[in-house]
A and B are shown apart, each in its own frame.
Chain A
Amino acid sequence: GDSVTQMEGPVTLSEEAFLTINCTYTATGYPSLFWYVQYPGEGLQLLLKATKADDKGSNKGFEATYRKETTSFHLEKGSVQVSDSAVYFCALSDQNTGNQFYFGTGTSLTVIP
């Protein structure tokens, strides 16, 4: 079945450091891929998405590229800020399963000044 595996946390970085959170997926069909972010005390918010191979999603300095050959959708940011501290979820939706969402376990990021 479909599944998402993402990098274990927690991750602690200094401000202005480079961020990578790894995400790989397994899908029976041709999925769409998402990164959601959850700030403390809030619900999940869409950060970025990509719907076909080689597409790059980007938002707020974050980006991720849909790599079909490696079944990956790694999240990157060149220079993190304290305000980026949150939990990040990788997810997929698959038309073969009625566009049901499958989420990774989440990666907690803390950025220290």
Chain B
Amino acid sequence: NAGVTQTPKFRILKIGQSMTLQCAQDMNHNYMYWYRQDPGMGLKLIYYSVGAGITDKGEVPNGYNVSRSTTEDFPLRLELAAPSQTSVYFCASSQRQGRGETQYFGPGTRLLVL
């Protein structure tokens, strides 16, 4: 059971380039999330999904897109990278969204936009 996996671990992008951050989970969880963590800040929710084909915006969605074609995968797309998107990105999943439900996190992707 690998849990939540993310690729790549680290990436450097030039301003205006595009990339997709990959996230996969093998726990058959319905809910998946993307967060970003800036230095000295808490995690901020970018997008989330409650199941295949259903996504919704979180607190900081601008500059990102997501899709959820399968239960397992939840990729995050950056179309035109900007220095403000330099951050560490975490993917997470949970079985439900009920009270006290635990979220399980991947190891993170560190992105540097220059």
Contacts and interface: CB of A to CB of B under 8 A. Distances in A.
Interface of A: 4, 32, 34, 36, 41-46, 49, 51, 89, 93, 95, 98-106
A89 B90 contact: no
B70 to A, nearest CB: 21
Given A32-B99, A32-B100, A100-B45, A45 B58 contact: no
A99 to B, nearest CB: 5
19 contacts: A32-B100, A34-B102, A43-B4, A43-B6, A43-B105, A43-B106, A43-B107, A44-B105, A45-B105, A49-B102, A99-B98, A99-B99, A99-B101, A100-B45, A101-B33, A103-B35, A103-B43, A105-B40, A106-B42
Contacts, number: 52
Interface residues of B, number: 25
A93 B90 contact: no
Given A43-B4, A89-B42, A105-B40, A98 B97 contact: yes
B90 to A, nearest CB: 6
B17 to A, nearest CB: 25
